[in-house]
Amino acid sequence: MIKPLSITLAIAAAFPQLAYAEEELARVVVTGSNIRTSQKEGASAVQVLTAKELAATGKATVADILRTISANSGNSYNEQYTGSFSAGTAGLSLRGLGQKNTLILVNGKRVSSYATAQDLQEVFVDLNSLPMAAVQRIEVLKDGASSVYGSDAVAGVVNIILYKEFKGTEVSAQVGSSTEGTGQLERSASLQTGFGSLDEKGWSVVFSLDALKRDKLQQTDVSYLRGSDFRGYANGTLAWTPTNYYGTSDATKQLGGVQGPLQVQNYGDITPGKSGRVLAYNPAEFRTLIPGVERVHTSLRGTLKLNDDTEAYAEGLYGYSWAEQTFGAPLTVGSGLRAWNNARQALDNITVALPAGHPNNPGTTALPFTATLFDLGPRMKQDKVDFYRALTGIKGNWNGWEYDASIARSGSKLKETVQNFVNRYEFEKVLADGSYNFADQSKNSEELRNRLRLSTLRPAESTLTVADFNASKELLELPAGALGFAFGAQWRQEEMNSNTSTAVLSGTELRPAINIIQGKRQVTAAFAEFNVPVLKDLTVNLAGRADKYSDFGSAFSPKASVRYQAAPWLLLRGTVSRGFRAPSLPEITSSTSVSYGSVIDKRDPITPSQARGITNITVANTELSPERSKNLNLGFVVSPSANSSVGVDFYHIRTTGVIDTESTDTILANESTHPEKVVRDAQGRIQTLYRQYANQGERVVSGIDVDLRYKLPKTAYGNVTLTAQLSRVFKYEQPLSNGEPLTNGAGTNYFGSIPKWRGTTSAAWELGQWTANAAWNYVDGYEQTTRPGERVKPFATVDLNLGYRISAATSMNLLLANAFDRKPSWDSSFNFFDYTQGDPRGRFASVKLNHKF
């Protein structure tokens, strides 16, 4: 970490004296409180990204901006996570605690979660469904705020604030391409316009629209990945997929010969420990790294002044998102092939054996085999998402009370279409009658292929209905200042209806993945907050919130914070709070999930030391309790001058009753007492593991955030502003398995990759018609836990943005993301790179034009 530390020292050295400039600040509500204050820095650490700073990044989406902040420690995903039930989406995971523990607000109000759950249990807000053009600023509260906002704010809150008023019209267009391989083209455009004025006309209307289209990036488009040959990396292999062989003890006995993408390879190059030769194919042409997307977002807000003390407002958000990807290679049929039996809520085993007399079976008995049905084509997926929020409210002053009341309805609706899956019943027919040639698929007719091909539709929808009210007032004047008070109430209804296709429910689709969630609940809450000036420079804030859930019971979240202006240049602050995360609807309501993974089973009679593919069936648990958390935050801000500040904040979050399923190691260790959780085939090999959500161990997370800002004195060479946000994770402790002691995963990938350091430092320069911004983004390395002694290297990129104002109304920017074309770091646990930390696109160059009317 030489560079972040050197920047820290450089900024500190630039403070020649401790001089503080007093400023008149308007009274505003800051994220994390309901009480208006004129304090520039509060008791809680809030990172504010202004419109100017957002523009300087050059990024076209809310997700791309938020995912670069240093507090995004790990366990957050974007559209690179193509294997999930929520392809094409993006979320945020403050402190690495998961997207379900980070609350996303728009204008201080809730929006609907994504239509279905990610990784079976993660309920989150899809950042790709939110508008970019309408954003005025983003506030990131980095401590727990369950006492103000409720359940899902354990790790922090992101409040995306849109323009309430806008003068004139502004349009922009941007086009760019990656410079890696064949390149990935991206086009975006935006419109922002506003009418009226609250002060002058008593009304205002703001409308925005933004659109983005990006081409699909395949693994074959990236030069260093297209061969899937990683033998030059630590513990890397030839990442090809073996297939098309007879299922005998000699797996190198080939079914037919080289055809389509199949080639003969050394089996040991693909799977260490294997011997002989095997038919295999390169999966790169069937792997999408980043989906092709089309998105349109609109935002409309109107405000009407009813009188001097009252205004009514209405707001509409709509987002359309379409994502297209290659879901995977054509289906491979062989041992472990199954279909869903809805009556039994279990999987039926499908026999894959060539009957005696089959043209591909030279023997006189049924012959098990494995084959990939290449002639059916790759499996494809398209996800179409419609997101909306309609909100209306009234706010104003009444007898000294400032109040805000609103009602809202928000939703996310998914239609997922897949092609080239395989029809179970047609497969069983062609297997029995010998009409399909597995050894030479070029001889199969198109009519026969179409009988086997299966296209399906998976629908899902999530809705949120909310009624909010809050009011605040200065109750009385104390010797040190006014006693502030706020209170409020909220009612909301959350509903998720995530289905699977009729082909899955009827048992027609082979090797189905299922994520069925059907749940609804109501939540009522009441909250109160006091802001108590104890001394002139010492303020104590006390807050509490009581939530009642219809499906598990009640929870209370108190919070106390202290703000002490120890000197004009020194602020000390701290908060202590209790929080909770309610069980998500997939965890506690009617839900069933089928997913696929791998396991090393010491009892496996054939490969006891090698990973074997298995099926997981996961079900909900109506007896769950919420996760409970205790949060501690301590920090200080040093402001030697009005143009400089250094903030350091320590956080510590202890969570008990963490909701998860039992680990594979625990299930296998207790197989003798719970044999119903493990299903083995006739040979004794694992086929299926049954899992259920439960409140299990605890988790302890701690670290620090550093925020540095310095604006150099203006010179003839222009204005220069330096900023840096650095985060260091000290602890990320969880048990590796149930009942075991806590293990620290900071700087490892025990619990998803959690780098110890993340940071973004930037330098902004302005001179006349020119502007420039350089940002250095750093992700620390981490230990590879499945390969002791192997360390994933740090990853750093530089983004450049050079702007020129052509006229008073028109400007142009040239942008280079990852200007030095750095490749993401190799991680052998993926036999690839970790897509939660890296980006395969390499250098991305674009040009942007902006015009104001």
| Confidence band, pLDDT 50/70/90 cuts, at residue 736 | confident
CA distance 746 to 732: 5
- Which residues are registered as beta bridge partners of 194? 168, 206
Percentage of the chain surpassing pLDDT 70? 95
In sequence order, the 6+-apart residues with CB closer than 8 A to the CB of 534 are 480, 540
Question: Tell me, what's the pLDDT at 333?
Answer: 95
What does the pLDDT read at residue 21?
A: 37
Q: What is the pLDDT of residue 37?
A: 66
Model pTM score: 0.92
d(CA 467, CA 476): 29
On whether the CB atoms of residues 618 and 692 are closer than 8 A, the answer is: yes
DSSP string, 182-202: T--EEEEEEEEEEEEETTTTS
pLDDT digits (tens, 9 = 90+) for 764-814: 999 999 999 999 999 999 999 888 888 999 999 999 999 999 999 999 999
The mean pLDDT of 825-849, rounded to a whole number, is 90
Q: Pairing mode, if any, of strands 156-162 and 102-106?
A: parallel
Read off the pLDDT of residues 690-719 as tens digits, 9 standing for 90 and up: 999 999 889 999 999 999 999 999 899 999
pLDDT in tens, 30-72: 777 777 666 667 788 889 999 999 999 989 899 999 999 999 9
Contact 483, 532 (CB under 8 A): yes
- For position 271, what pLDDT does the model report? 85
Residue 279 backbone dihedrals phi, psi, to 5 degrees: -75, 135
Residue 19 has pLDDT above 50, yes or no: no
pLDDT, residue 144, reads: 81
Kindly indicate the confidence band of residue 27, based on its pLDDT and cuts at 50, 70 and 90.
low
Centre a 10 Å sphere on the Cβ of residue 717 and count the other Cβ atoms it contains: 9
Distance CA 157, CA 357 (A): 65
Confirm if 8 and 706 have CB atoms less than 8 A apart.
yes
Average pLDDT, the chain: 90
Segment 78-91 shows an average pLDDT of 88
Q: Which two tokens stand for residue 563?
A: 């703000």
pLDDT of residue 23: 41
- C-alpha span between 252 and 577 (Å, rounded): 61
* pLDDT at 16 exceeding the cut of 60: no
- pLDDT at res. 3: 42
Distance CA 841, CA 284 (A): 15
- Say what the pLDDT of residue 411 is: 98
Output 677-683 pairs: Cβ under 8 A, ≥24 positions apart.
681/335, 681/336, 681/349, 683/605, 683/606
Structure tokens, 805: 């104002």
- Specify the pLDDT at position 769: 95
For residue 6, pLDDT over 80 is answered with: no
- For residue 450, the surrounding DSSP H or E stretch is helix 446-452
What is residue 248's predicted lDDT score, i.e. its pLDDT? 67
Cα–Cα distance list, 778 to 39, 62, 499, 796, 802 (Å): 32, 20, 40, 4, 21
- Average pLDDT score over residue span 283-296: 95
Of the candidates 119, 110, 105, which has an alpha carbon nearest to the alpha carbon of residue 159? 105
